[in-house]
Every structure is written in C-alpha cells, then in structure tokens.
Amino acid sequence: MDREKLLQEKEVVEEINRHKWLRSELVGYDIGFDEAANDWFKNYAAAWVAHHNKDCRSKCKK
C-alpha cells in the first residue's frame, strides 16, 4: 500500500483526523497528526482500503 497516495485522498485524511481525536481523548493530550497517521496505517489502513476503496488496491500498491 502506498502511504503517500492514500494521504492524497480526502477521506483518508478525515479518518486519520478522527483517529487522532479519539486517541488524543484517550491519553489526555494531542498526539499529533504524524503519530495518529502512523498508528492508523499500522492498524487500520488495510481494512479501510478493503472496505471503502476497493479500486485503490491496484492503484495504491507499491
């Protein structure tokens, strides 16, 4: 999966920002976009692509 291509999609950035908010609320401070993005890509990106953006699988692979 090509992280840079996925980050160009508005929906992905929205998901990461939502993830950032949730994780920040959990720990009690702003974790920042980079940490949220790293965690989201590690734990959720593959499932998100499979569910929401099936045609991206061929475009977004390295």
In tens digits, the chain (62 residues) has pLDDT values of 789 999 999 999 999 999 999 999 999 999 999 999 999 999 999 999 888 766 555 555 54
Q: What are the residues whose beta carbons fall under 8 Å from the beta carbon of 41, sequence distance 6 or more?
A: 1, 3, 6
Q: What is the pLDDT of residue 32?
A: 97
2 membership: H or E segment, kind and range: none
Q: What is the pLDDT of residue 38?
A: 97
Spatial contact of 33 and 16, defined as CB atoms under 8 Å apart:
yes
Question: Domain tally for the chain?
Answer: 1
Q: What is the pLDDT of residue 33?
A: 97
Residue 41 domain boundaries: 3-57
Q: What is the pLDDT of residue 2?
A: 87
Give a yes or no: residue 36 inside a domain. Answer: yes
Give a yes or no: residue 62 inside a domain. Answer: no
Give a yes or no: residue 14 inside a domain. Answer: yes
